[in-house]
Structure formats: C-alpha cells, structure tokens
Structure 1
Amino acid sequence: MTVKELTQEQRHEEALKKYVLDASKLMDEIKDLPADDQKDQIQWAFEDEAEAQGLQPWELTLKYTSTPEEFEVKRLELHKEAAEVLGVEWEEYCEMNNLVV
C-alpha cells in the first residue's frame, strides 16, 4: 500500500505500530497498564519523539509510513496545502515553520 492509499487515521495507526517496534523500553515500562492507558502512553511518546526530531506528529507519521523519497515529496505537498489554506505566502510559511526547501 502506498502513502496515498491510506487515510490519515490508517497511516497514523500504521506509524504507531512501527514506532512500538522501536520503543521496547517504553513497552516494558507500560506493559502492566490497561490497554487504553497503554495506547495513550504510546501516543504521547510518539508526539514527544516527533518533537525531539523537530517534526510535527503528522510528519513523523508520514516518516514511518513512507520511503525517504516519498516522505520529502509528500511532506512538502502537505505543507504547501497548509500554506494555501492559511492564505500565507509559501516563503513566509517556510520561515514560520522553519522549513528548509
């Protein structure tokens, strides 16, 4: 399945599954929690990881669910869409979001 075939929610769920594979320490720490609490902890840790990488959570989701080439292309497409929706010039948007293109 390519990035475009997944909905945002499906893409995020897939990213969380892959993230958990990289987060064995986290999983060990939360293994005794109820399932809903585990899910919350995983989501919060995912968001923290995105911040640590200088990304938005949706960007980390994209990173986990695409090839490096697809990631860069799709990331810029989505940022350009956001700039248009916000009515902000692309250069200004890049500056505001610390994007280097």
Structure 2
Amino acid sequence: MKVSEISIEHIAEYLRLDDYTDGELAPLLESARAFIRSYTGLTDEEIDTHEDFYIAVMVLCQDMYDNRCMYVDKNNLNKAVDTILGMHCVNLL
C-alpha cells in the first residue's frame, strides 16, 4: 500500500481503536509522513514508490499514540523503522 493511500481508518485498525476521532489520529498520520520526508529527503511521490514505508508509518503512529507525544526522537527510533527508512535515504549528509 502506498503511503498516500493510508487513511485514518487504517491507523485506527492498526492501533486496535474502536473509539477515536479524526482530529486525534490525523496529526499522527501527517507527523509520520513528515518524519519520513525529513528523514529520507524523498518527496511524497518518491515515498509512494516504496511499499515498505507502510509499516514505518504504522509503527511511527503507534509510537506517537502510545507515548502521547507529537514528535519522534531520532535517538530512540524503532530499529525496524530506522532500517526501512535508512534503505531509502537520499540525504546522507
């Protein structure tokens, strides 16, 4: 699945939430997408060419939801997410 196709409902299902609001999950989804853009240096169109980013988005959203924080600390990044994103980085400066 492309990152652009991930919806609030996908996030809620992954988090196993029955009671949620779009306003609660939309920022998580956008933050995960923004983090991936920043981390890899890829555009939205380039991100959509890598289906393995689906799990990275889900794990990032779960981490932000579980910790109730709206940021991701690169020093404590999930190893699977770090590996997936690292394989596609173009901004290795």
Do the two structures share a fold, i.e. TM-score over 0.5? no
Q: Specify which structure has the higher proportion of helix.
A: 1
> How would you bin the TM-score normalised by the shorter chain?
0.3 to 0.5
Which one has the largest radius of gyration?
1
Give the alignment's TM-score, normalised by structure 2. Answer: 0.32
Q: Which has the higher contact order (CA 8 A, sep 6+)?
A: 2
Give the alignment's TM-score, normalised by structure 1. Answer: 0.30
